[in-house]
């Protein structure tokens, strides 16, 4: 179980507001996404300095395919460029990079880049940085249930042996602990199919700041508020 107070070990962020940020300035939405990618770099570098051990960001949901072809293709190119440009810096800064989500719909070259940087940074220990691409909490649960059903059908697992820990281990996030804190930027107050199982006891913070304007200072303020919360996990106030 996560720590009750102090700095959260695992922070998850729904990075919302890139498109609005650009539109407000009269620029194309992709400009906002590029600015958002720069913000990711700043937050990754600040996170370990603030005591965070695990950082997970929601970059592209299973529902985001509904956006224009131009925006989707632009985002995919942006993901690939980010991996290529940040590989050396992440290695030097001892940051491990991982991905969650269904990769099968992604371009094979992007899948190769994702696997390459995961391997390259696998032994890094300062911060585990996870990016959710083509990720949806419901889709993840369906894929996990299907995988467990296949194990049962193969005789490798008995139905009565399936418990919370078994399901947890079948999820994309088996490599990280449950998030202590989930942040959503841009003022929206919904979870948008993000870490539905994992965030059962997470604290939530809904920030009005658009993601391109979300600075390490804003993150530090949120962490300060988190440290004062009483996390009871269904128990009574101490």
Residue 229 has a pLDDT of 74
What digits encode the pLDDT tens for the residues 68-80?
999 999 999 999 9
Gap between the Cα atoms of 130 and 99, Å rounded: 5
User: How confident is the chain (238 residues) per 10-residue block, as mean pLDDT?
Assistant: 71 97 97 97 96 98 97 97 94 97 97 97 97 98 98 97 97 98 97 98 98 98 89 60
Residue 231 has a pLDDT of 65
What digits encode the pLDDT tens for the residues 150-164?
999 999 999 999 999
Contact 123, 49 (CB under 8 A): no
User: Helix crossing, 216-226 with 29-49: angle to 10°?
Assistant: 50
Gap between the Cα atoms of 22 and 29, Å rounded: 5
> Residue by residue, what is the 3-state secondary structure of the chain?
CCCCCCCCCEEEEECCCHHHHHHHCCCCHHHHHHHHHHHHHHHHHHHHHCCCCEEEEEEEECCHHHCCHHHHHHHHHHHHHHHHHHHHHHHHCCEEEEEECCHHHCCHHHHHHHHHHHHHCCCCCCEEEEEEEEECHHHHHHHHHHHHHHHHHCCCCCHHHCCHHHHHHHCCCCCCCCCCEEEECCCCCCCCCCCCCCCCCCEEEECCCCHHHCCHHHHHHHHHHHCCCCCCCCCCCC
Active site residues: 16, 64
């Amino acid at each position: 179980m996560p720590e009750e107070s102090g700095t959260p070990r695992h922070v998850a962020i729904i990075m919302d507001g890139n498109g609005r940020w650009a539109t407000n300035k009269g620029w194309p939405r992709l400009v906002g996404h590029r600015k958002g990618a720069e913000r990711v770099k700043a937050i990754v570098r600040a996170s370990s300095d603030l005591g965070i051990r695990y950082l997970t960001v929601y970059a592209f949901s299973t529902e985001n395919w509904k956006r224009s072809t131009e925006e989707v293709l632009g985002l995919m190119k942006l993901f690939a460029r980010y991996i290529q440009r940040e590989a050396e810096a992440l290695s030097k800064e001892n940051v491990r990079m991982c991905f969650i989500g269904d990769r099968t719909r992604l371009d094979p070259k992007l899948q190769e880049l994702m696997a390459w940087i995961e391997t390259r940074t696998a032994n890094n220990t300062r911060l585990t940085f996870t990016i959710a691409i083509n990720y949806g909490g419901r889709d993840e649960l369906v894929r996990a249930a299907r995988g467990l059903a296949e194990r049962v059908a193969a005789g490798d697992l008995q139905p009565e042996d399936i418990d919370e820990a078994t399901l947890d281990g079948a999820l994309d996030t088996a490599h990280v602990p449950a998030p202590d804190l989930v942040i959503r930027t841009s003022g929206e107050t919904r979870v948008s199919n993000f870490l539905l199982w994992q965030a059962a006891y997470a604290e939530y913070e809904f920030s009005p700041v658009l993601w391109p304007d979300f600075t390490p200072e804003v993150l530090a303020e949120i962490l300060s508020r988190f440290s004062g919360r009483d996390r009871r996990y269904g128990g009574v106030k101490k």
